[in-house]
């Protein structure tokens, strides 16, 4: 683990996957998942070069089929340490023979974590080093402690969106994203959290008005989570688990029955040769 610290937070990042594995307050209380393998051992994987699952775990590019696992390969790769300071660190992943067999592009993925007082800033920079346009998606998948370690009951926790959210939700059906939509459980701006919300997998917004939200109990310390550049969001847990994931996405799983080229896939970003695309989120402890 590589640790960075500010006066108010300490973060630990695992070079395997460049995964945020711990975020602690000034008293050393853990704000992230406990990683209980009975539910899910992940903590905050980086989703690249796809978000979600492909139909049959395959995609088509220029008439040729390639295989990628759910959420891509970045979360399973060791990143190099590119830069390190007391309050910031950057990890780097570059293509190699193994990645090119599944994703035939030259790329660089830089993951930078920076602490400033009570805020953790995360910036991902994806650079196309190839000679042709490169399709890519990216997603964050951080799992925060539910309940947070401040003595409030799990049932008292809620998500409060920055804006009222009235849109219907997408959901994962048989074989991918279902073609229809479901009624949202959000009450204006408020989403009361309960296990019942997640019996059928994640809640998925693809028409989100907010670019941030508060998570926690109303009368206790909370996390303000911002994702200024995307309107795609997943919220997920497994019933009974001690975490909830707040997942800003620049991409989404295949729709059920999708059989087109990857360029026709919803949420795919097109990066020109030499182009860098940046994806960011930040988390602030409010106490």
Sequence ranges of the domains in the chain: 2-286
**Mean pLDDT rounded to a whole number for the chain:** 97
Domain 2-286 has CATH 1.20.120.1200: no
| Cβ atoms of residues 168 and 182 within 8 Å | yes
SS3 69: coil
CA 87, CA 43: separation in Å to the nearest integer?
Answer: 20
* pLDDT recorded at residue 273: 98
Q: Output the six-digit token pair for 10.
A: 């300490």
* pLDDT recorded at residue 211: 98
Q: For residue 110, with 0-12 CB atoms within 10 Å meaning exposed, 13-18 middle and 19 or more buried, which class applies? A: buried
pTM given for the model:
0.96
pLDDT digits (tens, 9 = 90+) for 228-274: 999 999 999 999 999 999 999 999 999 999 999 999 998 999 999 99
CA 20, CA 101: separation in Å to the nearest integer?
Answer: 27
CA 20, CA 14: separation in Å to the nearest integer?
Answer: 6
pLDDT digits (tens, 9 = 90+) for 177-195: 999 999 999 999 999 999 9
**Which residue numbers in the chain have pLDDT < 50?**
none
* pLDDT recorded at residue 83: 97
- β-sheet bridge partners, residue 60: 65, 261
| Cβ atoms of residues 32 and 143 within 8 Å | yes
* pLDDT recorded at residue 33: 97
The C-alpha R_g of the chain, in whole angstroms, comes to: 18
Closest CA to 13 of 68, 85, 72, 73: 85
The CB-side HSE value for 61 (13 A sphere, CA atoms) comes to 18
| Cβ atoms of residues 94 and 111 within 8 Å | no
């Amino acid at each position: 683990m590589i640790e960075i610290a500010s006066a108010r937070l300490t973060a630990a990042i695992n070079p395997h996957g460049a995964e945020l594995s711990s975020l602690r307050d000034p008293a050393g209380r853990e704000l992230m998942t406990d990683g209980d393998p009975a539910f899910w051992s992940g903590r905050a994987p980086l989703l690249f070069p796809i978000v979600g699952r492909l139909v049959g775990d395959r995609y088509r590019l220029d008439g040729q089929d390639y295989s990628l696992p759910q959420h891509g390969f970045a979360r399973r790769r060791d990143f190099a340490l590119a830069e390190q300071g007391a309050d910031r660190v950057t990890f780097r992943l570059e293509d190699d023979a193994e990645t090119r067999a599944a994703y035939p592009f030259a790329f660089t993925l830089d993951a930078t974590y920076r602490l400033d007082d009570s805020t953790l800033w995360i910036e991902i920079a994806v650079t196309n080093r190839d000679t042709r346009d490169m399709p890519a998606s990216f997603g964050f998948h951080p799992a925060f402690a539910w309940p947070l370690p401040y003595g409030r009951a799990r049932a008292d926790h809620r998500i409060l969106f920055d804006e009222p959210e009235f849109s219907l939700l997408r959901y994962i059906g048989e074989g991918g994203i279902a073609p229809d939509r479901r009624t949202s459980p959000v009450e204006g701006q408020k989403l009361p959290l309960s296990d019942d919300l997640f019996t059928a997998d994640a809640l998925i917004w693809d028409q989100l008005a907010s670019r941030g939200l508060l998570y926690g109990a109303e009368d206790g310390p909370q996390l303000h989570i911002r994702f200024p550049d995307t309107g795609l969001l997943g919220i997920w847990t497994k019933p009974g688990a001690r975490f909830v994931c707040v997942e800003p996405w620049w991409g989404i799983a295949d729709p059920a029955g999708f059989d087109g080229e990857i360029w026709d896939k919803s949420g795919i970003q097109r990066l020109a040769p030499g182009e860098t695309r940046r994806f960011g989120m930040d988390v602030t402890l409010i106490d």
